[in-house]
Amino acid sequence: MHTLRLRDREFRPGEHAVMAVVNRTPDSFYDRGRTFGFDAALAAVGEAVAAGADIVDIGGVKAGPGDTVDAAEEIRRVADLVAAVREAHPDLVISVDTWRAEVGEVVAGAGADLLNDTWGGPDPGLAEVAAKHGIGLVCAHAGGVIPRTRPHRIGYGDVVADVVSHTVALAERAVRAGVREDAILIDPAHDFGKNTWHSLEVGRRLGELVDTGWPVLVAVSNKDFVGETLGGLPVDERHAGTIATLAVSAWQGARVFRVHDAASARAALATVGALRPRPGGQL
């Protein structure tokens, strides 16, 4: 199992890191633009840090379909915020949610420590950017879909096997490009290129990703599969399901948890850490 090293932080096997979401988008599915304004976004970062976040993930493009956001606009939304967060929080691990190498280059220069590619590597240049700047990379599985699109009736012979093979291949490609092995995570990307059944199957068998040795990131906070599993609950009623999914993921060995509520996630993960058996059966 790899020890994950980002900036000056180390996250060893068995330890949990909370990654708080801060979106500079006017149309986020969760907060509906609450942190689109620069000052609001910067304040949200401070609140997340106070709530126990180890990493803050800054995004400038809504994941789902919506208005077109080109690279120049994405940079306008996130680069200055990254620089301001770096100045305000020198020790914080800063992640940027982007699939574009052009954006990655700018935010790396502004102080980002991690590039979170949730779309499964559509731009191979992103790994080259991470290697050039000595920063981290998230290698995710999105079923080969075009960024910001939803597949129609997507299918897999074995969704978990597909997730494992794709994310590991991306991680190995990143190493060949020069990204440090100890700065790479893999992410099954629940709901990306997957229906609810697929996301649940990934959740049940997350240990198969953990067994690859790469640190596993899970991003399940308030997602559609949680709401559908609980009978079609709207976004603002998915908190309990989110916490349950985080706990199950942590129990299976996931290491980094991308969430909207850092304080609740920190409490849930601390509980899992206390309950899980320790090596050698020690108390």
Q: What is the pLDDT of residue 280?
A: 53
- Domain residues for 230? 4-274
Check residue 28 and give its pLDDT: 81
For residue 279, being part of any structural domain is answered with no
Q: Is residue 283 part of a domain?
A: no
Asked if residue 133 is part of any domain, the answer here is: yes
Residue 21 domain-assigned? Answer: yes
**Total count of domains within the chain:** 1
The answer to whether 262 and 52 are in contact (CB under 8 A) is yes
Query: Which residue in 113, 84, 150, 119 sits closest to 7, CA to CA?
Result: 113
pTM of the model: 0.95
Beta partners for 184?
137
Domain annotation covers residue 281: no
Assigned token pair, 93: 């691990």
CATH of the domain at 226: 3.20.20.20
Query: Does residue 280 belong to any structural domain of this protein?
Result: no
Q: In the chain, which stretches have pLDDT less than 50?
A: 282-283
Give alpha helix (H) positions in the chain: 38-50, 71-88, 101-110, 125-133, 159-177, 196-204, 207-210, 224-229, 239-251, 262-275
- Burial degree of 41 (CB within 10 A; 0-12, 13-18, 19+): buried
Assess if residue 282 is contained within a domain. Answer: no
